[in-house]
Amino acid sequence: TYNDSQTVVMIGPGTGIAPFRGFIQERMEKGEEGTVGGENFVLFFGCRHPDIDFIYKDELEQYKKDGVLSHLFTAFSREGPKQVYVQDKLVENEELVYAAYESGYVLVCGDAKNMARDMQQTLIKMISKKESVSEEEAQAKFKVFEKSRRYRMTHW
């Protein structure tokens, strides 16, 4: 369980957004009651094309506009000549992601085949860079982060 003063980073490519939609809706309800604090409630969403499979686009953009989400980052892997993935957006926004690593939560939901491994590798490289440690040391730190239950991965 997180509290509203902690950074929460949700990473939900494709249908992996489903559980996070519920979290966002709950936060909106709390906000309507005037009980939402905290600055960083962040969603990273990725899909192939914004006009084809960006599910809940209008709803998510409204949550961002209303301040329910502090940040909404999107990655589209088939929109233009350059493929952009959620991992790329994590790196571009490493300060937010690292804040969640330090004292918040990183929640990931998606396919286990590549996405789970790619997310972990991205976070390990980020830890290595931010803390000026080897990737082996960063991997050990990531394991501690995982065991703290502040990194949650749900995959299929």
Q: Is the separation of the CB atoms in 144 and 100 below 8 Å?
A: no
What is the model's pLDDT at position 34? Answer: 46
pLDDT digits (tens, 9 = 90+) for 131-153: 999 999 999 999 999 999 999 99
Determine the average pLDDT of the residues in 37-45: 80
Q: Where along the chain do its domains lie?
A: 8-155
| pLDDT, greater one: 127 or 156 | 127
Name the DSSP letter for residue 47.
Answer: E
Instruction: Report the distance separating Cα 54 and Cα 48, nearest Å.
Output: 8
Q: Is the dihedral of CA 7, 72, 124, 129 positive or negative?
A: negative
pTM recorded for the entire structure: 0.90
Instruction: Report the distance separating Cα 121 and Cα 127, nearest Å.
Output: 10
| Residue that is written with structure tokens 């860079």 in the block | 129
List 75's β-bridge partners, or say none. Answer: 46
Kindly indicate whether the domain formed by 8-155 is annotated with CATH number 3.40.50.80.
Answer: yes
pLDDT digits (tens, 9 = 90+) for 70-118: 999 999 988 777 889 999 999 999 999 999 999 999 999 988 778 888 9
What is the model's pLDDT at position 27? Answer: 85
What is the model's pLDDT at position 79? Answer: 77
Q: What is the enclosing helix (H) or strand (E) of 64? A: helix 57-66
Best-predicted range by mean pLDDT among 31-40, 49-58, 86-95, 107-116?
86-95
What is the model's pLDDT at position 113? Answer: 77
Q: Is the separation of the CB atoms in 49 and 79 below 8 Å?
A: yes
* Closest to 123 in 3D by CA, of 49, 55, 54, 44: 44
State the pLDDT confidence band at 30, using cuts at 50, 70 and 90: confident
* Closest to 77 in 3D by CA, of 114, 105, 107, 102: 114
State the pLDDT confidence band at 28, using cuts at 50, 70 and 90: confident
Half-sphere exposure of 6 (CA within 13 A, CB side): 15
